[in-house]
Chain A
Amino acid sequence: MKTAILMTTLVLSFTTPVLASDDHNHEAAVEAAPHGGTLRNAGDHKAEIVIEGDKLKLYVYDKALKPIKMEKAELKGNVQFPKEKSKPIIFKKSGEFYEALVKGISKTHRYDMHVNLEIGSKKTLVDFGIDNI
């Protein structure tokens, strides 16, 4: 039984983002973000990604765009480049935001990023469609 649950979790954690990236059916980021980045809905919360070259910063807010306290030391997710396999990504806590470094990410024309957020007891997946064109 444990093996079945583990397998299902593993399959889901890899397939869900891939399916999402195929559809690109998430809404476009048009709302002004507090740090000038890309703002997305994440369940009852909002998340903002700020890109500084190959460095990515992730901020999490409530619906009113007030920063919320996150306990987790790191957040896991993956990056999906067009017509390629997805790669894992880990955001580490750095003060009021999470930070990750993905070498060469600023050189690609676009990528989708999916990050698993754990806010309190709730788990949410947040999608970002980023293009460098």
Chain B
Amino acid sequence: MLDFIIKASLRHRTLTLGFAAFCLIYGFILSRQLSVDVFPDLNRPTVHIVTELEGMAPEEIEVAVSRPVETAVNGAPGITRVYSSSATGISVVRVEFEWNTDLKSARVNIAERLGAIKSRLPHAAVPTLTPTSSIMGEIQMIGLSADDPSFDLMKLRTIAEWELRPILLSIPGVAQATVIGGDQEQVQILMNPIELQKRLMTPKDLADRLVNLSSATGGGFVTKGDKEWLIRNIGRVSNFEGIGETPIGTHLGRPILLKDVASVQKAPAPKRGDASVNGRLGVILMVQKQNTADTLVLTKEIDTRLANFRKTLPQGVSLEGDLFKQSDFIEAAIGNVMEALRDGTIIVTIILFLFLLNIRTTLITLTAIPLSLLITAIAFHYLGIGINTMTLGGLAVAIGELVDDAIVDVENVFRRLGENKLKDKPEPILRVIYKASSEVRNSIVLATVIVILVFVPLFALPGLEGRLFTPIGVAYVISILASLVVSITVTPVLCYFLLGKSKNVPEHDTVLVKILKNIDRKVLNKTLEKPLIILGFSLILFLGVTTLIPLMGRDFLPPFNEGSAMVEASVKAGISLEASSELAMKIERAILTVPEVKSTGRRTGRAEEDDHAAGVNHSEWEVALKRSDRTREEVFNDIRAKVKAALPPDAYFSLSQPISHRLDHLLSGVKAQVAIKLFGPDLRVLRQQGAEVRNTIAEVKGIVDLQMEGQSLFPQYKIFLMRSDLGKYGIVPGDAITSLELMLQGMPVTRIVEQDRFVDVYVRLEEKFRRSIDDIKKLSVHVLPTGRPIRVEEVADVFETSGPNMIERENLRRRIAISFNTAGRDIDSTVNEVKERLAESIKLPDGYSLEFDGQYESQKTAIRMVTLLGALSILGIFLVLAINFRSIFIAFQIMLNIPLALIGAVLAVYFTDRTFSVATLIAFITLCGISSRNGIMMISHYLHLMKEEGEPFSKEMIIRGSLERLVPVLMTASTAMLALTPLLFAKGEPGKEILHPVAVVIVSGLLSSTILDILVTPAVFFRFGRKAAERTVNRSNDELEGSI
């Protein structure tokens, strides 16, 4: 089959080159159209359902909204987990589906189920599915602020919400633009309870009469003759000044106007979130993209629209378009990886030229790089894969190997043409090229099959880890396969055109090759005599480095360098929004004193309709940084110190980076390695048992960052209606509750249209009547027919207490989580000890249970899967080699290269980062494939010499074979190594964070494998391989033959 392809390509040379040219052009065009993003699509199909009920406590939200919504959606096809968070005024239910679930049909299913329970939810509760996006979908943060601090924040919010937001939402690809900060304009009808009482009215009576405050209806048609007139009944309020004149009923025959019982004003709406820009109060818009949108293209479009919008802003209002921009990191990262690709290509060119000292051979070999890359781009297009740091990383790792197949082919053709020249009766050029290509095609294909086999475990990596890392493998394998195709089609044809008729085909080796061969000959003469010493030395080295493995740390991903920072801070729950915002401003001003800080955007609490249910005690800052001489660590330490000094001592804060922070959320939901989730019905028992779990494991060696998640308590006043007291006055509890809600929280009664925007009209009690709990106790909750008001304290027990600020539920059960990381001890033994201690000390009440979860669990599953498939893959490689060479010994001998490579790789990791991450694991996988190649090439050639040239199994044959294979072995190894040097010296540069450890492992592993391979393979083969080699040669005499 392969011989046929080589033969057909050489026969149809013009067609082959034409097809290659087509691939180049088509691939180039398609590569420009591939979507560009920071990471591959990591979104597990998830639907968020947000329901807002202003002012309601988490306990009420949980009962009234979260539980009915969870119950309704649970059981929809493909659901894996249902989470809910109930906080003050908001319920967020997160429904996770199996990977590969169609999100559109999942959303339809959820929407249908929500429709069915609408009547069971509170009247004001409207569950909303948030637009399809993800945490990684937050692509840009835009800030609006005024130079003059007295600028009306209501005006600023109106500009953001009614002018800028519609522009952003109209851009194709934008899923959502969340607005936070400033003041939302509201028409407020502030009731006076004394005036209401005088007219025997309750707050509820007033609210009922205001429902149709501003409305319009249709009146049908009036027809006269052949004409008709449409009738409109208009009762709409067009300006708020007229609202006070609205008649709301009569008392003792006299009309009552709204202004008699209430004052009407335009004022800021109550809010649960605030924002600032560069230390000034302002409004922030967070733009989320749709899943399929190209971040770079979309950001460019947003910037264009922002530039136009900026011109329309009132004087003194400034717009910051890049408080956070994901595209900045993408551009820097992609640019850096492209730079690594470019530098790698230049280095490969130099290496090739140094070895071959021939422009034509260098040119033929180099053709493999663009051709393989652009064929990969075509494959990407049809497989729906985009450009991101992972796929580009796969290509960057492969760049040195893309020329390997071509090198092996060109080197062999080049040498055979040279030999042919020296013959008395030279063979036809085409036949020489065919035979030379056919001679090496076996080892080329075998090496490629092994490279693919070693990547099989990576493709099976489950969950998000798989989503993140599989694209590296996909890009690598596709490009390597493309290079194989190029090496057996285009390379032989180019050899014919560029080398066939060339007079420059050398009859002798170049100077560099001569020197290398002389050294190798001397080394071989010594090592072939002492194979056991060589083998023993290698074994000691290998065993030595394996002892270093337990000394190294483990991490999921190397840290990114995003060029920006993210600060989060939480103070004790119970702080008011105003106080929290003031404290946040102080912190922001402190952050701004760090010289590298370019801009800051701060959010405190949450925005309306935001699925991030943060309390008002929580603030986060996106900090854009500019480059300086200081390292990232120095700048971060500076920020950390400033924030710490500005915060109260019992506050919590963390400093991370925006994209890493979002990735952490995506990976596990909790940032810790291990989470112990405690489930049960009673919050108090959960809190108490959670504390006992925390106390039990606190002293376990290796545990750090131990904390109990959420459920911190915040102060509450509870107005508990006493039914026996209500009964005395004949008050229906529901009426009393509605009156209390109306007076204290307020209710939207209608909306009025002003110009082209809607303004909510709220009814609430005038503030002077509800300033303190004592005022509230004296409020009238009901008016008896005699005119006697019934005060709150007469029918209710009013007391101060505390309650949870957030209630978390998972799969329909309440839960709290106790999380921790490990340090100085391996995670497995730490978790085992934790499990033992809990089994000894914790006796959970009936109905309560605990589960282990967190990154550790997913990593454990991933590592178990990779280990299992890794073992299968090694078995697969062994079988492929054994079947191909028809010898178990030869298969073993080739696989000996893997531990040889691991020696250098483990040593390098130990002396650099001293940390194993998933990136390192991938590098080890890659290394197994690449290092096997050297052994295959060397041993195939020994067998070729015995079969084709009748050489006996002798020391001379081993030396000859080794020397003839020295050049391709050194060339392939040095190109693969040196192509990665741009990544080797780029630790921490944007986009290269994951690739740097990959480069460290591959370069060092290849170095040790190549050096040791030159010593070990010939010596071991010479000492132990005679029988296997002779048996293989005798069994497959026709293995390498072919003709044209």
Contact = CB atoms under 8 A, between A and B. Distances in A.
Interface of A: 24-38, 50-52, 82-83, 109-110, 129-131, 133
Q: Top 8 A-B pairs ranked by shortest CB distance? A: A36-B691, A28-B715, A36-B688, A36-B687, A28-B802, A24-B800, A82-B797, A30-B713
B1035 interface: no
B399 to A, nearest CB: 53
B720 A30 contact: no
Given A51-B684, A109-B720, A29 B691 contact: no
A110 to B, nearest CB: 6
Contact of A28 (B574, B687, B688, B690): B574
A52 B684 CA distance: 9
A31 B691 CA distance: 13
Contacts of B716: 28
A130 B718 CA distance: 12
Interface in B758-809: 797, 799-802
A37 B688 contact: yes
Contacts of B689: 36
B19 interface: no
Given A50-B688, A51-B684, A131-B718, A32 B712 contact: yes
A13 B687 CA distance: 33
B708 interface: yes
A60 to B, nearest CB: 16
A29 B713 contact: yes
Q: Which of A31, A34, A36, A129 has the most CB of B within 10 A?
A: A36
A95 to B, nearest CB: 14
A129 B691 contact: no
A32 B720 CA distance: 25
Given A110-B797, A131-B801, A35 B688 contact: yes
B526 interface: no
B208 interface: no
Nearest to A35: B691
B708 A32 contact: yes
Contacts of B715: 27-28, 30
Interface string B667-705: 000000000000000001101111110010000000000
Contacts of A37: 687-688, 691
Contacts of A32: 708, 712-713
Contacts of A129: 799-801
Contact of B799 (A36, A52, A131): A131
B497 interface: no
Given A31-B713, A110-B799, A129-B799, 7 more contacts: A28-B574, A30-B712, A30-B713, A35-B692, A36-B687, A37-B691, A82-B799
A110 B720 contact: yes
B720 A133 contact: yes
Contacts of A35: 688, 691-692, 695
A30 B802 contact: yes
B626 interface: no
A17 to B, nearest CB: 15
Contacts of B685: 52
B232 interface: no
Contact of B714 (A26, A30, A34, A50): A30
A109 B722 CA distance: 10
Interface residues of B, number: 26
Nearest to B689: A36
A26 B800 contact: yes
Nearest to B805: A30
A133 B713 contact: no
Contacts of B572: 30-31
Interface in B63-90: none
Q: Which of A30, A51, A52, A131 has the most CB of B within 10 A?
A: A30
A123 to B, nearest CB: 25
B573 interface: yes
A110 B716 CA distance: 14
Nearest to B708: A32
Contacts of B801: 28, 110, 129-131
A25 B715 CA distance: 12
A65 to B, nearest CB: 12
A87 to B, nearest CB: 17
Contact of A24 (B59, B692, B799): B799
B56 to A, nearest CB: 14
14 contacts: A28-B574, A29-B802, A30-B573, A30-B712, A30-B714, A32-B712, A34-B691, A35-B691, A35-B692, A36-B687, A52-B685, A82-B799, A129-B799, A133-B59
Nearest to A29: B802
Interface string B328-363: 000000000000000000000000000000000000
Contacts of B708: 32
Contacts of A28: 574, 713-716, 800-802
A110 B695 CA distance: 28
A32 B694 CA distance: 12
A37 to B, nearest CB: 6
B781 to A, nearest CB: 17
B712 A36 contact: no
Contact of A34 (B695, B800, B802): B695
Contacts of B59: 133
A31 B573 CA distance: 9
B814 to A, nearest CB: 14
Contacts of B692: 35-36
A44 B716 CA distance: 25
Interface string B803-828: 00000000000000000000000000
Q: Which of B59, B716, B799 has the most CB of A within 10 A?
A: B799
Nearest to A39: B713
B462 to A, nearest CB: 35
Contacts of A26: 800
Contacts of B573: 30
Nearest to A57: B688
Contacts of A31: 572, 713
A81 to B, nearest CB: 10
Contacts of B688: 35-37, 50, 52
Contacts of A27: 715
Nearest to B684: A51
Nearest to B59: A133
A30 B716 CA distance: 10
Nearest to B693: A36
Contacts of B695: 34-35
A33 B691 contact: yes
A22 to B, nearest CB: 10
Contacts of A30: 572-574, 712-715, 802
Nearest to B802: A28
A109 B544 CA distance: 68
B624 to A, nearest CB: 34
Interface in B101-160: none
A35 B1022 CA distance: 71
A12 to B, nearest CB: 24
A82 to B, nearest CB: 5
Nearest to B575: A30
Nearest to B773: A24
Interface string B705-740: 000100011111010100000000000000000000
A38 B691 CA distance: 12
A131 B799 CA distance: 9
A36 B690 contact: yes
Contact of A133 (B574, B687, B718): B718
Contacts of A130: 801
A105 to B, nearest CB: 13
Nearest to A110: B799
Interface string B566-592: 000000111000000000000000000
A50 to B, nearest CB: 6
A101 B333 CA distance: 65
A11 B695 CA distance: 42
Contacts of B574: 28, 30
Given A28-B802, A35-B688, A109 B713 contact: no
A130 to B, nearest CB: 8
